[in-house]
Protein backbone atom coordinates (compact mmCIF):
# COMPACT_ATOMS: atom_id res chain seq x y z
CA UNK A 1 0.00 0.00 0.00
CA UNK A 2 0.84 3.71 -0.08
CA UNK A 3 2.27 3.83 -3.59
CA UNK A 4 3.01 7.11 -5.31
CA UNK A 5 3.76 7.32 -8.99
CA UNK A 6 5.23 10.08 -11.11
CA UNK A 7 5.03 10.64 -14.81
CA UNK A 8 7.13 11.06 -16.81
CA UNK A 9 10.21 9.55 -15.23
CA UNK A 10 12.43 11.48 -17.55
CA UNK A 11 11.82 14.44 -19.85
CA UNK A 12 14.02 16.50 -22.12
CA UNK A 13 12.69 19.78 -23.45
CA UNK A 14 13.86 22.88 -25.24
CA UNK A 15 14.41 26.14 -23.43
CA UNK A 16 11.26 28.24 -23.30
CA UNK A 17 8.80 25.38 -23.36
CA UNK A 18 6.61 24.22 -20.49
CA UNK A 19 6.70 20.80 -18.91
CA UNK A 20 4.04 19.12 -16.79
CA UNK A 21 4.89 16.46 -14.22
CA UNK A 22 2.15 14.33 -12.67
CA UNK A 23 2.15 12.85 -9.20
CA UNK A 24 -0.46 10.23 -8.32
CA UNK A 25 -1.31 8.37 -5.16
CA UNK A 26 -2.36 4.96 -6.41
CA UNK A 27 -3.97 3.33 -3.42
CA UNK A 28 -4.83 6.08 -1.00
CA UNK A 29 -6.32 9.53 -0.99
CA UNK A 30 -3.66 12.19 -0.65
CA UNK A 31 -4.97 15.22 1.13
CA UNK A 32 -1.53 16.76 1.03
CA UNK A 33 1.19 16.49 -1.57
CA UNK A 34 4.66 17.94 -1.51
CA UNK A 35 7.00 18.84 -4.33
CA UNK A 36 10.75 18.69 -3.88
CA UNK A 37 13.68 19.51 -6.02
CA UNK A 38 16.91 17.62 -5.63
CA UNK A 39 20.12 19.23 -6.72
CA UNK A 40 23.11 17.36 -8.16
CA UNK A 41 24.94 17.47 -4.86
CA UNK A 42 22.00 15.62 -3.33
CA UNK A 43 20.26 18.14 -1.05
CA UNK A 44 16.47 17.89 -1.11
CA UNK A 45 14.65 21.21 -1.26
CA UNK A 46 10.96 21.52 -0.51
CA UNK A 47 9.34 23.69 -3.17
CA UNK A 48 5.72 23.72 -2.15
CA UNK A 49 2.96 22.03 -0.22
CA UNK A 50 -0.33 21.44 -1.91
CA UNK A 51 -3.63 20.54 -0.34
CA UNK A 52 -6.46 19.16 -2.38
CA UNK A 53 -8.78 21.86 -3.61
CA UNK A 54 -6.72 24.80 -2.43
CA UNK A 55 -3.79 26.84 -3.61
CA UNK A 56 -0.31 25.55 -3.02
CA UNK A 57 1.89 27.05 -0.36
CA UNK A 58 5.29 27.85 -1.79
CA UNK A 59 8.54 27.95 0.11
CA UNK A 60 10.49 31.14 0.26
CA UNK A 61 12.44 31.75 -2.92
CA UNK A 62 10.33 29.49 -5.12
CA UNK A 63 8.62 31.34 -7.96
CA UNK A 64 4.97 30.38 -7.94
CA UNK A 65 4.41 31.74 -11.45
CA UNK A 66 7.18 29.57 -12.77
CA UNK A 67 6.34 26.39 -10.89
CA UNK A 68 2.59 25.98 -11.18
CA UNK A 69 1.10 23.41 -8.86
CA UNK A 70 -2.39 22.02 -9.13
CA UNK A 71 -3.95 19.52 -6.73
CA UNK A 72 -7.34 19.08 -8.29
CA UNK A 73 -8.21 15.68 -6.84
CA UNK A 74 -7.30 13.50 -3.90
CA UNK A 75 -5.09 11.34 -6.08
CA UNK A 76 -3.42 13.75 -8.46
CA UNK A 77 -1.15 16.75 -8.22
CA UNK A 78 0.69 18.33 -11.12
CA UNK A 79 3.77 20.51 -11.29
CA UNK A 80 4.18 22.60 -14.42
CA UNK A 81 7.53 24.20 -15.07
CA UNK A 82 6.71 27.16 -17.29
CA UNK A 83 9.14 28.65 -19.75
CA UNK A 84 11.80 26.22 -18.67
CA UNK A 85 15.45 27.18 -18.78
CA UNK A 86 18.60 25.09 -18.38
CA UNK A 87 18.90 26.11 -14.74
CA UNK A 88 15.58 24.37 -14.10
CA UNK A 89 17.19 21.05 -14.98
CA UNK A 90 16.93 18.93 -11.90
CA UNK A 91 15.39 15.87 -10.28
CA UNK A 92 11.85 16.62 -9.11
CA UNK A 93 10.27 14.39 -6.50
CA UNK A 94 6.75 14.45 -5.13
CA UNK A 95 5.45 12.93 -1.94
CA UNK A 96 1.98 12.40 -0.59
CA UNK A 97 0.30 11.85 2.69
CA UNK A 98 -3.22 11.57 3.92
CA UNK A 99 -5.01 13.32 6.72
CA UNK A 100 -3.41 12.46 10.03
CA UNK A 101 -0.51 10.59 8.50
CA UNK A 102 1.76 13.55 7.91
CA UNK A 103 2.57 13.12 11.53
CA UNK A 104 4.15 9.84 10.62
CA UNK A 105 5.56 9.60 7.14
CA UNK A 106 5.31 10.84 3.61
CA UNK A 107 5.26 8.46 0.66
CA UNK A 108 7.54 9.45 -2.16
CA UNK A 109 7.28 9.07 -5.88
CA UNK A 110 10.18 7.75 -7.94
CA UNK A 111 11.12 11.19 -9.23
CA UNK A 112 11.27 12.93 -12.61
CA UNK A 113 14.53 13.88 -14.22
CA UNK A 114 14.07 17.13 -16.16
CA UNK A 115 16.70 18.23 -18.64
CA UNK A 116 16.26 21.58 -20.36
CA UNK A 117 18.42 22.11 -23.43
**In terms of CB distance, is 16 or 59 closer to other proteins?**
59
Cis peptide before 113 (omega within 30 of 0): no
| Binding-site ranges for other proteins (CB under 8 A) | 4, 6, 32, 34, 42-44, 46, 49, 91, 93, 95, 97, 102-111, 113
Closest Cα partner for 56 from 37, 36, 76, 70?
A: 70
Least distance to other proteins, CB of residue 92, Å: 10
Listed in sequence order, the residues at least 6 apart from 41 whose beta carbon sits closer than 8 Å to its beta carbon are none
**In terms of CB distance, is 76 or 111 closer to other proteins?**
111
Closest Cα partner for 66 from 83, 53, 52?
A: 83
**In terms of CB distance, is 35 or 84 closer to other proteins?**
35
Least distance to other proteins, CB of residue 68, Å: 20
Amino acid sequence: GAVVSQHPSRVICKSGTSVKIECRSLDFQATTMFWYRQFPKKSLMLMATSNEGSKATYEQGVEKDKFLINHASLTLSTLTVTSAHPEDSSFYICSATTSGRALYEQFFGPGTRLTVL
